[in-house]
């Protein structure tokens, strides 16, 4: 089944944002299939091109926007924690303890949560914890 995700031309700002999407940002992998005699797979159509579900430019931009926002918030929280109640912890330990909490919220996928932690480490200039490795 094809889902039409918009017929209007992609505006320049969306195209520029999509082009600037980090290469290491995780893309969803959908290995679903549709039953029947012939092999089939699910795709979404966006502006005449076909994408795996969740991988069209608007879908990826929305996911990235959410993850970038979380990283920005966590960077502030991490710095406040290091200066306050978690001053006894290493920077890696501080970031490490946020990862399972972020995964538990269900706001992002596990791969996206790891990306958020790597991005947070980049924003605050800290070493990436091993648990956040891709």
In this structure, are residues 36 and 1 in contact, taking their beta carbons and an 8 Å threshold?
Answer: no
Q: Quick one: pLDDT at residue 112? A: 93
Mean pLDDT of 102-114: 94
- Rounded distance between C-alpha atoms, residue 118 and residue 134, angstroms: 9
First to last CA, the chain: 32
- Rounded distance between C-alpha atoms, residue 115 and residue 33, angstroms: 28
Q: Quick one: pLDDT at residue 8? A: 42
Q: pLDDT digits over 68-99, tens only?
A: 999 999 999 999 999 999 999 999 999 999 99
- The residue with greater pLDDT, 15 or 106, is 106
- Supply the pTM of this predicted model: 0.75
In this structure, are residues 75 and 94 in contact, taking their beta carbons and an 8 Å threshold?
Answer: no
Q: How far lies 97's CA from each of 84, 90, 115, 130, in Å?
A: 15, 11, 15, 12
Mean pLDDT of 94-107: 94
């Amino acid at each position: 089944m094809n889902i039409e995700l918009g017929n209007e031309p992609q505006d320049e700002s969306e195209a520029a944002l999509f082009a600037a999407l980090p290469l290491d940002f995780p893309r969803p992998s959908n290995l679903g299939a549709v039953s029947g005699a012939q092999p089939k797979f699910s795709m979404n159509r966006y502006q005449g091109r076909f994408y795996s579900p969740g991988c069209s430019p608007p879908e990826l931009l929305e996911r990235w926007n959410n993850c970038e926002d979380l990283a920005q918030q966590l960077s502030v929280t991490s710095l406040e924690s290091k200066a306050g109640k978690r001053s006894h912890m290493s920077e890696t330990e501080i970031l490490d303890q946020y990862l399972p909490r972020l995964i538990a919220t269900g706001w992002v996928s596990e791969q996206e949560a790891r990306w958020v932690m790597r991005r947070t480490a980049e924003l605050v200039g800290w070493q990436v914890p091993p648990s956040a490795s891709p």
